[in-house]
């Protein structure tokens, strides 16, 4: 199976279930996962690789956007497991901090500083997340310079990642709803280490 085959399966699943694709899926195996916006190729996915999948559906005019990184055929090696756990923990810390009145840059800095404290700061090169709704990138988000003040009802993504050229990358992305007391994670798929 190739990266393009996986992208096609996602498209078919959406279309066969009444949804449309929100954007072109990012399917990246092995070292291709080092590129945050890799376009699927005819690269064959093999055992021992990580597979980063960023995809989203549009239903009734509204968009979803999630990323999962899974391991193909074998449990992750020590470095893969370490980096996956760092990204997982960074996302968890950021989500726990989300509440009305916080600025986007405050939430971004929580994940960014955690990743840096583990020695991988230079490998997290994009903002932590973006607004989501009628558009996939529907307005302000979580970024180092974001002055956006969170309000109840906002829907945002939280998507830390570590990308190392020549090795690969891990990203975990969920959609969240800002509530009056914090936030609700809208994404329901599991995100613990998964081997397929």
Are 99 and 181 contacting, i.e. CB atoms less than 8 angstroms apart?
A: yes
> What is the model's pTM?
0.96
Alpha-carbon torsion angle 91, 94, 97, 103, nearest 10: -150
Are 17 and 11 contacting, i.e. CB atoms less than 8 angstroms apart?
A: no
Query: Residues 6 or more apart from 13 whose CB is under 8 A from it?
Result: none
Count of beta carbons in the 10 Å neighbourhood of residue 144? 11
Per-residue pLDDT tens listing for the chain (196 residues): 999 999 999 999 999 999 999 999 999 999 999 999 999 999 999 999 999 999 999 999 999 999 999 999 999 999 999 999 999 999 999 999 999 999 999 999 999 999 999 999 999 999 999 999 988 887 789 999 999 999 999 999 999 999 999 999 999 999 999 999 999 999 999 999 999 9
How far apart CA 118 and CA 120 sit, in angstroms, is 6
Specify the fold of 3-185: Creatine Amidinohydrolase (3.90.230)
Element (H, E) at 173: none
């Amino acid at each position: 199976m190739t990266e393009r085959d996986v992208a096609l399966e996602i498209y078919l699943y959406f279309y066969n279930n009444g949804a449309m694709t929100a954007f072109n899926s990012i399917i990246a195996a092995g070292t291709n996962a080092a590129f945050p916006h890799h376009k699927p190729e005819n690269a064959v996915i093999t055992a021992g690789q990580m597979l980063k999948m960023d995809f989203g559906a549009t239903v009734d005019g509204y968009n979803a956007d999630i990323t999962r990184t899974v391991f193909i055929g074998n449990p992750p090696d020590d470095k893969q497991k370490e980096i996956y756990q760092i990204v997982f923990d960074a996302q968890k810390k950021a989500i726990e901090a989300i509440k009305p009145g916080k600025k986007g840059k405050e939430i971004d800095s929580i994940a960014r500083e955690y990743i840096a404290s583990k020695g991988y700061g230079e490998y997290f090169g994009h903002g932590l997340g973006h607004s989501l709704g009628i558009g996939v990138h529907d307005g302000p988000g979580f970024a180092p310079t974001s002055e956006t003040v969170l309000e109840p009802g906002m829907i945002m993504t939280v998507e830390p990642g570590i990308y190392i050229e020549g090795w690969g990358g891990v990203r975990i992305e969920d959609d969240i709803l800002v509530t009056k007391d914090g936030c609700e994670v809208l994404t329901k798929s599991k995100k613990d280490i998964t081997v397929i």
